[in-house]
Amino acid sequence: MSNRPRILWLEGVFDEPTIDAFSAISPAVNFWHEGFVKALISAGCDVTLVGHPHDRVWPWGRALIRSGDGVLAAGFSGQVAGYLNFPLLRTRSQEWNYLRLVKAYVATHGRPDYVYTFNDTPATPAARYLSQALGVPWIYIAGDGPVLPGANGYLYQNWVYFEASE
């Protein structure tokens, strides 16, 4: 068994065709996530991603996003979460699928050493489950908003939000 820290990154890093197919995916955010996850891997961490491709809510976007509709960028391992993309159902569907995939990860690979999230997203309940039920340290990255209480550690992408949290 490896002694490399195992990180569950609850956000996707998608390939170019997926970014092109889903106009709601921010190429800048995807690029930032890619660089950060690559840095974690370069530092000796095993990183597994669980993420979903962002789409506008139906009727402006797809009604159903399947897990196969999004592809992680080359060199990244993990799973893509599908979801129902209807108003009032989307967030619940995403939260349920993140929790389902996280529990499947734990059942197969065991408890990760850390879980990372970026902003408050539908992945937050899955991170909270790992943190509270299994004692996995939760690192919350505040990218473009105030911090969400309850994480074990915080990274700030924006100095203003760091100052506001003090």
How far is Cα 166 from Cα 160, in angstroms, rounded to an integer? 10
Select the more confidently predicted residue: 149 or 34.
34
Percentage of the chain modeled with pLDDT above 70: 93
Question: What pLDDT sits at residue 164?
Answer: 62
Question: What pLDDT sits at residue 1?
Answer: 53
* pLDDT per residue as tens digits for the range 19-51: 999 999 999 999 999 999 999 999 999 999 999
Which is it for strands 138-142 and 46-51: parallel, antiparallel or unpaired? unpaired
Statement: residue 162 has pLDDT above 70: no
pTM of the model: 0.91
Question: What pLDDT sits at residue 43?
Answer: 96
Hunting for tokens 């908003």 — which residue is that?
Answer: 145
How far is Cα 36 from Cα 69, in angstroms, rounded to an integer? 24
